[in-house]
């Protein structure tokens, strides 16, 4: 049993989703409780991945594949957790998307992946997302964080529109709003009443942890488009 968990951890570290799925299934079959597998294989695996990135041994594709492996393993564990009425500990629930009128995806997706790998429950709404959809999703998922991405000087205004919509829906108090994207800035965050501006995906993890009251991490830019 310990062997399976060790292998599962390794599958996360080397970023092999198929292996991770198989090993997660094996672990369940061997009677390992999902929460134990998450605690003893997945989380420490992601920790190693993070450390290797910090040391410069790992690069973004390594992080992304590890996160994918983590996701496939979680997909195996989640139905069992539900059935057992257990919950994995998540650091928070995040609704994230690129604002209406803007179809730029990569920076937002990097942030979503990194947050998810760091232990947040992430609902990625995709691109060109209207304000109303953010509001609905925040209500539905009871999110405590909203991430708004915009890559264009012309669409960044919609970050403010969404914050207003959250206020109108009476949800602004329950969520922290982070904004990002090439034209955004800390000053812009202040103008539109966001809680924080984040420049890159790792900073997003650190900032969100900070906003929700836990510790901070390293740095990685996500401004992948122009």
Partner 1 sequence: MRPCLQFLSHETIKRAVSEAYDLLRDPGVRIYSDRARHLLAEHGAEVDFEAQVVRIPADLAHQAVETAPSSFHLYDADGQPVVHYGDDDVHFDPGSAAIEILDHGANHSRSPVTADFVRFAKLADGLNALDGVATSLVCADVPQEIADLYRLYMVLLYTRKPVVTGAFAVETWAVMKDLLVAVAGSEKTLAEKPTAVFDVCPSPPLLWSEITCENLMDCAQYRVPAELVSMPLAGATGPVTLLGAVVQHTAENLSGVTIHQLVNPGAPIVWGGSPAAFDMRTGTPPMGAIETVMIDCAYAEVGKYLGLPTHAYLGMSDAKVVDAQCGFESGISAVLGALAGINMISGPGMLDFESCFSLEKLVIDAEIVGMAKRLVVGMVERETPLALEIIRQVGHTGNFLSMPHTRRWFREELFIPSPVVDRDFRRNWEAKGSLDVTERAHRRVEEVIAAYEPRELPVEIVRELEAITLRAAQSAGMDRLPSW
Task: Report the site for partner 1 in 22-61 (rule: CB under 8 A).
Answer: 56, 59-61
Residue 221 binds partner 1, judged by CB under 8 A: yes
Specify whether the CB–CB gap between 190 and 170 falls below 8 A. Answer: no
In this structure, the number of other CB atoms found within 10 A of the CB of residue 221 comes to 13
Among the listed ranges 14-22, 164-172, 173-181, 216-224, the one in contact with partner 1 (CB under 8 A) is 216-224
Cα–Cα distance measured from residue 50 to residue 172, given in angstroms and rounded to the nearest whole number: 32
Q: Say how far residue 26 (Cα) sits from the centre of its chain.
A: 27
Residue 18 binds partner 1, judged by CB under 8 A: no
Nearer to partner 1, 73 or 163 (CB): 163
In DSSP terms, 93 is beta-bridged to 121
Among the listed ranges 6-14, 81-89, 147-155, 169-177, the one in contact with partner 1 (CB under 8 A) is 147-155
Using CB atoms within 10 Å of the CB of residue 124, give its burial: 0 to 12 exposed, 13 to 18 middle, 19+ buried.
Answer: buried
Residue 100 binds partner 1, judged by CB under 8 A: no
Single residue of 131, 152, 175, 208 touching partner 1 by CB under 8 A: 152
Single residue of 44, 126, 130, 183 touching partner 1 by CB under 8 A: 183
**Extended strands (E) in 38-137:** 93-98, 121-124
Q: Which residues bind partner 1 (CB under 8 A)?
A: 56, 59-61, 101-106, 110, 128, 152-154, 156-157, 182-183, 200-201, 220-226
């Amino acid at each position: 049993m310990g062997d399976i968990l060790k292998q599962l951890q390794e599958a996360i570290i080397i970023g092999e989703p198929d292996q991770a799925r198989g090993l997660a299934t094996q672990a369940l079959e061997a009677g390992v409780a999902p929460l134990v597998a998450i605690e003893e294989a997945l989380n420490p695996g992601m920790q190693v991945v993070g450390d290797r990135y910090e040391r410069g041994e790992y690069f973004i594709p390594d992080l992304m594949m590890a996160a994918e492996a983590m996701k496939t393993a979680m997909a195996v564990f989640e139905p069992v957790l539900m059935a057992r009425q257990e919950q994995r500990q998540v650091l928070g629930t995040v609704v994230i998307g690129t604002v209406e009128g803007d179809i730029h995806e990569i920076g937002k997706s990097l942030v979503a992946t990194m947050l998810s790998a760091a232990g947040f429950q992430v609902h990625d709404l995709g691109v060109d997302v209207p304000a109303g959809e953010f509001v609905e999703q925040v209500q539905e998922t009871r999110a405590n964080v909203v991430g708004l991405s915009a890559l264009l000087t012309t669409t960044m205004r919609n970050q403010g529109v969404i914050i207003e919509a959250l206020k109108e829906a009476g949800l602004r108090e329950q969520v922290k709003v982070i904004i990002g994207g090439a034209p955004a800035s800390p000053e812009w965050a202040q103008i539109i009443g966001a809680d924080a501006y984040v420049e890159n995906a790792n900073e997003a993890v650190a900032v969100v942890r900070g906003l929700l009251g836990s510790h901070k991490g390293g740095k990685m830019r996500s401004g992948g488009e122009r």
